[in-house]
Amino acid sequence: MNNDNNNYDNNNDLEVEFQDFEEAVDNETDNSQPQESDTENTQPLEPDTVYSADPFFAQQTSYSDAQNTAYTQNTVYTVPPQTSKKKGAKKKGIKIFFFILALIVIIAIGITGYMLATKDENSGTGIGTSDTDNVTGDAALNISDTPDTQNVSEKGVLTATQIYEKVQSSNVGIVVYSQHSSAASGEGSGIIMGEDSSGKHTYIITCAHVISGSGVKAVVQLHDGTQYDAEIVGYDVRTDIGVLKIKATGLTAAEFGDSNKLKVGETVYALGNPGGMEFFGSFTHGMVSAISRPVSSEIGYSMECLQHSAAISPGNSGGALINSYGQVIGINSLKITDSDYELMGFAIPISSAKEIIDNLIAYGRVPNRPKLGISYYSNSSSQQYNMIVQIKGLPAGSLIIADINPDSDLANTEAQVGDLIIAVNGKDLTTADVLLEMIDNGKVGDTLTLTLCRISNNYKISEFKVKVKLVEDSGTVSSSVEETTGFEQYINPFGN
């Protein structure tokens, strides 16, 4: 109560002092006449200068109640600049001011018009996509401009119903048959991209894991139930992107947007066929949960994905992730199916996928991309390896060789499954990224020096170095991926 009374008294004092100040200012203004004595004795106040009526008003005061809630008062009162006492001079000053203001506006309009005209003449599409100038396929993925959500209003944003009506005809179903069976071996989704240069075929985008495999036959089903035998143009298991082609024209191609403009929290929609053809064209929505989420998957790729909360299920793979403008901005690829996780879906950003898609159409593969040609695991995936790494003081990012591809240059060395990679080109593997960066920044034919560590039965370790050349990663063999997420086989750290 005492604090409340004190605060109340202080507030009353503030009001009284401020009223006195206002009255003083009003009296000074009313009594000011064009007399020489008053003008000479009055010190003019400078414009744009803050004056406080009393030092008390300029200080900051904090009040706290019983709940320790802080209230801050920081009141600054300004005195308007003193006006001229001569009416004629006042009118003349106003005329000059408006003349200068009008002149500035005219000049600004002229400069702005010139800048806009120059921008229209020199600007391109303004879309941040991968460089595909050297790709010479008979078609290329066209990415339309997407409004920047930070700089535009709701103009152009569609309702969920309008979005579905716009994209439903661009969704297709994909049924996969094995070479030795008439029964379907898998089903997925796809997105109509557009026609080829001949105008006789239409390209379909999907996921590599939907159509990859030996002797696979794919059938594409349109939204009206029409089916076409599909030709597999190419697929890349490293990025989980695949392209099909059907002999049909006049289909509704999807509009593709710029996934680089997505923001966390934006609404997104998933369109596809969860469970296969039985639930063809299912439409769900959620939001962008994360941008550039690193994902390593057992299905054969490692790249940065869009994480979202739109419900997807097996069968949605290869289907569209759509923004609020009805533009496809991602290719749904996988979800976490563990019962401890909910609404965690991942999609390949379409702006990142463009280069892969264009290369698959042009070459049937992704050319000139280097790989080491192994599969490996983190040492932390194995309790025994992790213990040895810590006891022997090996680099924390040391990697276990789980498989060596036949086309890998490492197959021609003394390296074997179960060895640890502890350094590359003399640089310790503090993390797995050290090796990945060396590979990604290299070129096909470049030589790397790997430091390997082999563990014997008596826990002794022996280190040795091997030189290996990077080979081309065509992306057509699942084992070309350099990393997977879990131990699918037991590897004895102590040899056979």
At 113 the pLDDT is 54
Domain map (residue ranges) of the chain: 2-85, 130-367, 370-480
At 130 the pLDDT is 39
Residue of 366 and 120 predicted with greater confidence: 366
Residue of 129 and 460 predicted with greater confidence: 460
At 83 the pLDDT is 38
Is 240 one of the annotated active-site residues of the chain?
Answer: yes
Other Cβ atoms less than 10 A from the Cβ of 412: the count is 11
Farthest-apart Cα atoms in the chain, separation: 112
Banded model confidence at residue 432, pLDDT cuts 50, 70, 90: confident
Per-residue pLDDT tens digits for 37-54: 444 444 444 443 333 333
Is 48 one of the annotated active-site residues of the chain?
Answer: no
Banded model confidence at residue 81, pLDDT cuts 50, 70, 90: very low
Which residue, among 223, 330, 220, 224, has the nearest Cα to 268 in the 3D structure? 330
63-77, 110-124, 347-361, 381-395 — which is least confidently predicted?
63-77
pLDDT at position 422 over 90 = yes
Average pLDDT of the chain? 76
At 97 the pLDDT is 66
Q: Positive or negative CA dihedral for 399, 405, 406, 408?
A: negative
Q: Which two tokens stand for residue 285?
A: 């929505």
Banded model confidence at residue 420, pLDDT cuts 50, 70, 90: very high
Compute the average pLDDT of residues 86-115.
Answer: 61
Per-residue pLDDT tens digits for 227-274: 999 999 999 988 899 999 999 999 999 999 999 999 999 999 999 999
Compute the average pLDDT of residues 365-384.
Answer: 89
pLDDT at position 16 over 80 = no
Q: Positive or negative CA dihedral for 44, 48, 54, 55?
A: negative
303 three-state secondary structure: strand
Phi, psi (rounded to 5 degrees) for 45: -90, 140
Which residue, among 470, 434, 481, 473, has the nearest Cα to 302 in the 3D structure? 481
- Among the listed residues 170, 212, 240, 419, the single catalytic one is 240
Residue of 340 and 34 predicted with greater confidence: 340
Q: What percent of the chain has pLDDT over 90?
A: 46
- Among the listed residues 317, 324, 351, 352, the single catalytic one is 317
Which helix or strand (DSSP H or E) is residue 255 part of?
none
- Among the listed residues 209, 324, 375, 408, the single catalytic one is 209
Is 317 one of the annotated active-site residues of the chain?
Answer: yes
The third-level CATH classification (topology) of the domain covering 370-480 is Pdz3 Domain (2.30.42)
The CATH label, of 1.20.140.10, 3.40.50.720, 2.40.10.120, 3.40.50.2300, for the domain at 130-367 is 2.40.10.120
Mean pLDDT is highest, among 1-10, 356-365, 473-482, for 356-365
Burial per residue of 185-221, b for 16 or more beta-carbon CB atoms within 10 angstroms, e otherwise: ebbbbbbbbbbbeeeebbbbbbbbbbbbbeebebbbb
Q: Which two tokens stand for residue 304?
A: 């940065």
Assess contact for 363 and 136: CB atoms under 8 A.
Answer: no
Q: Positive or negative CA dihedral for 150, 155, 161, 165?
A: negative
Per-residue pLDDT tens digits for 212-226: 888 889 999 999 999
Compute the average pLDDT of residues 132-136.
Answer: 58
Tell me which amino acid residue 445 is. G
pLDDT at position 478 over 60 = no
pLDDT at position 191 over 70 = yes
Per-residue pLDDT tens digits for 97-106: 666 766 676 6
pLDDT at position 314 over 50 = yes
Assess contact for 425 and 438: CB atoms under 8 A.
Answer: yes
